[in-house]
């Protein structure tokens, strides 16, 4: 629990708010007290969602779905108002942790506990299905643990099996890693009660082992493994293997019914064994529940005190603060898994001591007001990137573009504020990045972060930045974060990824091969050295080309040493007229040379992972006419970026590097997010909420958030290797590509 913040309401409906329980992309959940003294959890919805077309109708359906279900193992709905200015709903408060928190902190549940968990969740889902609904989002984060049993929550996407609002083909609904194959394939009409059985099997596997049955990582990889691969054997304990494997069957008709599942689990924990059922949780989890319950009871006996806040500290609509004094819950012991999860960060913090030697101290130009000028407020943005490590070229190009944007913005005397750009170098090291993120999160002056440069550094910092409600704008991160959650909280609105997610690069590949060169027979090379990226790229490109009648074959390339001559021979024997390679620049150069030796004359295509000067130098003449799909543009040939390119050359004496223009746009986009009604926005949460609400027409793209797609989902471009250089062909959908 956290204290209420400046600007939080003191009441919602008939409920008096006591504490914050959590906040995410959708809204805030508060701990509240009803007039009769009952404690409740009140879920509110951000105004940006409430104003969307159709949102209130969807929210009413969630309320109606929750009201239809009656079960002791489902958290009951107490009250709701979908028509309020800020829509909200109230449910009974369960002081226990979610299953996610319990497993992450204390480790997997015992098998006896898993059996009780499964039996009671099966009973809860029977009530859901008995009301004519399918839950569709059964996951550990939606299971709360109480002393007498679990509680199922969240009916936000529950629907009748034949409903059409969110079951149309092409719409994926649910949480990757815990949804069924039919959900992963977006086959809405096939999503019925067996889908919830599959999700329940995933939840029980996670509870028993602490491992997701279809792995972790990006959403695209999890979805593909769910559809095409068997569960990880380490995620299926031997004693539960037959039952869980049946639940995780790809064919919905092969899965057991909930009644069959419950009978099997009840046989292992008989109803007569009351001790096993009443003491179903381990002592540490039970202590945590008791501690939280005690803390809530303490809150319930204290009347909040209304105190005036300094006029300068609050917005006009927030004239008071709610101050609540409470005894904090006792510190809980951290279990082995929780200790290991914290250990690497704690070790780096200890090693860092008092001086973070990798912090850059170079002064930022353009941040000192001219003498005699009227002072304007200064807003601090941190540039967090790789300036000295493996991706230093991209990181320094981004920093140069960002600095140019700050200079130009601060030169506008009419602008309501000035920007100060502080520079931090993580060297491409995820551990160093995490330490930097912790420092920046605690620095109250820093209102937003531009970066990091790499996927690994972004993923290592996402929890820290999210918990700090830090607005993060990245321009070169390709991790698919649209569906990711941290604990109970969705966070995609606090991260604006101006680069498309890696799997989307299949779109320019399939369009170029299918529309531009009219490929008839394509060979797609899935380079295992690139992991899920290569898999998803080849899988999605294959699907798109096959839908247009092309003959497509996918061949896996081992992650180790490649026999390039043999690989080229496979291309020739397949009689392919196009090859798509998913590997990096070094391996692509080896393949290019082998294909030239084999006299292959068809289309050769790769992605930005192979887009590097070393490809050109290593492949030599064999590099000619290779085509590349990228997420960055070439500002030197874009009319919209001519002024930027000229200013960049004047400032730095060279042409803009890759992602420099995107970083320039990122700063200008952040400046828009920090401005409302001509005044500066100086609170992190408010900036994060502004980001998906604005549209910024930049020099490299138009930055705009679209529900379900994120930012800039069509910002992909095509280049060709010609005369020892990369020549920009255009945005991948443009007819000018040639």
Q: Is 366 in contact with 136 (CB distance < 8 Å)?
A: no
List all residues 6 or more positions away from 549 whose beta carbon is below 8 Å from its beta carbon.
none
List all residues 6 or more positions away from 716 whose beta carbon is below 8 Å from its beta carbon.
500, 504, 505, 507, 508, 629, 630, 631, 731, 732
Helix axes 392-410, 642-652, angle to 10 degrees: 100
Going 452 to 455 to 456 to 459, the CA torsion angle's sign is positive
Place of tokens 């200064």: 378
Helix or strand (DSSP H, E) at 675? strand 675-676
Which phi and psi angles does 647 have, rounded to 5°?
Answer: -65, -35
Radius of gyration of the chain (CA): 27
List all residues 6 or more positions away from 443 whose beta carbon is below 8 Å from its beta carbon.
382
Q: Which residues pair with 726 in a beta bridge?
A: 721
- Cα distances from 403 to residues 335, 368, 379, 668, in angstroms, run 45, 14, 14, 11
For residue 180, the tally of other CB atoms under 10 A from its CB is 30
Place of tokens 């999890």: 222
Q: Which of 95, 96, 93, 337 is nearest to 206 (CA)?
A: 337
Which phi and psi angles does 370 have, rounded to 5°?
Answer: -65, 150
Q: Is 516 in contact with 204 (CB distance < 8 Å)?
A: no
For residue 294, the tally of other CB atoms under 10 A from its CB is 14
Place of tokens 């990757």: 176
Q: Which of 393, 420, 392 is nearest to 405 (CA)?
A: 420
DSSP for residue 660:
H
For residue 391, the tally of other CB atoms under 10 A from its CB is 22
DSSP for residue 732:
T
CA 60 – CA 47 distance, rounded (Å): 16
Beta strands in 285-415 (DSSP E): 305-308, 320-323, 378-385
Instruction: Give the residue numbers annotated as catalytic, written as ranges.
Output: 137
Within 13 Å, how many C-alpha atoms sit on residue 597's CB side?
13
Q: Is 464 in contact with 485 (CB distance < 8 Å)?
A: no
CA 605 – CA 626 distance, rounded (Å): 6
List all residues 6 or more positions away from 420 whose beta carbon is below 8 Å from its beta carbon.
364, 367, 378, 379, 380, 381, 406
- Cα distances from 480 to residues 222, 453, 720, in angstroms, run 11, 15, 26
Q: Which of 553, 560, 555, 615 is nearest to 584 (CA)?
A: 615
- Cα distances from 663 to residues 400, 449, 566, in angstroms, run 8, 12, 42
How does strand 472-474 pair with strand 710-711? Answer: unpaired
- Cα distances from 191 to residues 103, 166, 197, in angstroms, run 28, 11, 11
Q: Is 2 in contact with 30 (CB distance < 8 Å)?
A: no
Q: Which of 6, 28, 32 is nearest to 18 (CA)?
A: 32
């Amino acid at each position: 629990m956290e204290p209420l913040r400046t600007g939080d309401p003191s009441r919602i409906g008939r409920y008096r708010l006591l504490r914050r329980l959590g906040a995410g992309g959708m809204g805030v959940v508060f701990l509240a007290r009803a007039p009769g003294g009952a404690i409740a959890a009140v879920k509110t919805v951000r105004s940006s969602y409430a104003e969307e077309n159709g949102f209130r109708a969807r929210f009413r359906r969630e309320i109606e779905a929750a009201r239809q279900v009656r079960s002791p193992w489902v958290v009951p709905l107490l009250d709701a108002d979908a028509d309020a200015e800020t829509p909200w709903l109230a449910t009974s408060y369960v002081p226990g942790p979610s299953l996610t928190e319990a497993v992450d902190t204390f480790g997997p549940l015992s098998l006896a506990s898993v059996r009780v968990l499964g039996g009671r969740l099966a009973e809860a889902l029977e009530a859901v299905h008995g009301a004519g609904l399918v839950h569709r989002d059964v996951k550990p984060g939606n299971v709360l643990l109480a002393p007498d049993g679990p509680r199922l929550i969240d009916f936000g996407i529950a629907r009748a099996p034949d409903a059409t609002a969110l079951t149309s083909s092409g719409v994926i609904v649910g949480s990757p890693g815990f949804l069924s194959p039919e959900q992963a394939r977006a086959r809405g009409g096939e999503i019925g009660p067996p889908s919830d059985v599959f999700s329940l099997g995933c939840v029980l596997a996670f509870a028993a082992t602490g491992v997701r049955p279809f792995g972790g990582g990006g959403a695209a990889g999890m979805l593909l493994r769910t559809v095409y691969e068997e569960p990880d054997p380490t995620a299926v304990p031997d004693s539960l293997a037959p039952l869980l494997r049946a639940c995780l069957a790809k064919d919905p008709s092969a899965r057991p019914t909930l009644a069959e599942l419950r009978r099997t689990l009840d046989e292992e924990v008989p109803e007569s064994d009351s001790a096993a059922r009443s003491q179903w949780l381990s002592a540490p989890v039970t202590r945590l529940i008791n501690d939280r319950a005690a803390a809530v009871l303490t809150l319930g006996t204290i009347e909040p005190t209304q105190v005036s806040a300094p006029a300068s500290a609050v917005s006009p609509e927030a004239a008071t603060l709610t101050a609540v004094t409470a005894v904090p819950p006792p510190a809980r012991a951290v279990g082995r898994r929780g200790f290991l999860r914290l250990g690497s960060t704690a070790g780096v913090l200890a090693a860092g001591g008092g001086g973070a030697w990798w912090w850059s101290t170079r002064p930022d130009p353009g941040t000192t007001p001219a003498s005699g000028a009227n002072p304007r407020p200064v807003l601090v943005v941190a540039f967090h990137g790789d300036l000295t490590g493996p991706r230093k070229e991209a990181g320094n190009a981004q920093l140069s573009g960002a600095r140019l944007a700050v200079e130009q913005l601060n030169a506008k005397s009419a602008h309501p504020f000035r920007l100060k750009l502080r520079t931090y170098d993580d060297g491409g090291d995820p551990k160093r990045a995490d330490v930097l993120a912790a420092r920046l999160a605690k620095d109250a002056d820093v209102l937003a972060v531009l970066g990091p440069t790499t996927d690994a550094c972004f993923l290592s910092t996402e929890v820290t930045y999210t918990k700090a409600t830090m607005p993060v704008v990245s321009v070169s991160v390709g991790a698919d974060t649209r569906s990711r959650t941290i604990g109970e909280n969705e966070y995609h609105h606090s991260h604006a990824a101006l680069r498309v997610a890696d799997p989307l690069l299949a779109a320019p590949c399939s369009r170029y091969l299918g529309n531009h060169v009219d490929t008839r027979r394509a060979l797609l090379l899935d380079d295992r050295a690139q992991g899920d990226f290569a898999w998803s790229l080849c899988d999605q490109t294959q699907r798109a080309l096959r839908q247009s009648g092309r003959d497509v074959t996918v061949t896996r390339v081992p992650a180790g040493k490649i026999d390039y001559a043999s690989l080229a021979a496979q291309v020739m024997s397949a009689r392919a007229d196009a090859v798509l390679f998913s590997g990096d620049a070094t391996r692509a150069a080896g393949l290019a040379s082998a294909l030239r030796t084999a006299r292959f004359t068809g289309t050769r295509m790769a992605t930005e992972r192979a887009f590097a000067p070393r490809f050109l130098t290593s492949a030599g003449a064999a590099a000619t006419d290779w085509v590349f799909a990228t997420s960055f543009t070439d500002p030197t040939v874009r009319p919209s970026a001519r002024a930027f390119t000229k200013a960049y050359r004047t400032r730095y004496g060279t042409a803009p590097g890759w992602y420099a223009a995107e970083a320039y746009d990122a700063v200008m986009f952040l400046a828009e997010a920090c401005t409302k009604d001509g005044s500066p926005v100086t609170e992190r949460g408010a900036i994060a909420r502004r980001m998906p609400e604005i549209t910024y027409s930049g020099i490299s793209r138009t930055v705009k958030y679209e529900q379900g797609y994120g930012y800039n989902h069509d910002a992909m471009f095509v280049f060709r290797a010609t005369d020892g250089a990369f020549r920009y062909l255009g945005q991948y959908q443009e007819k000018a590509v040639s």
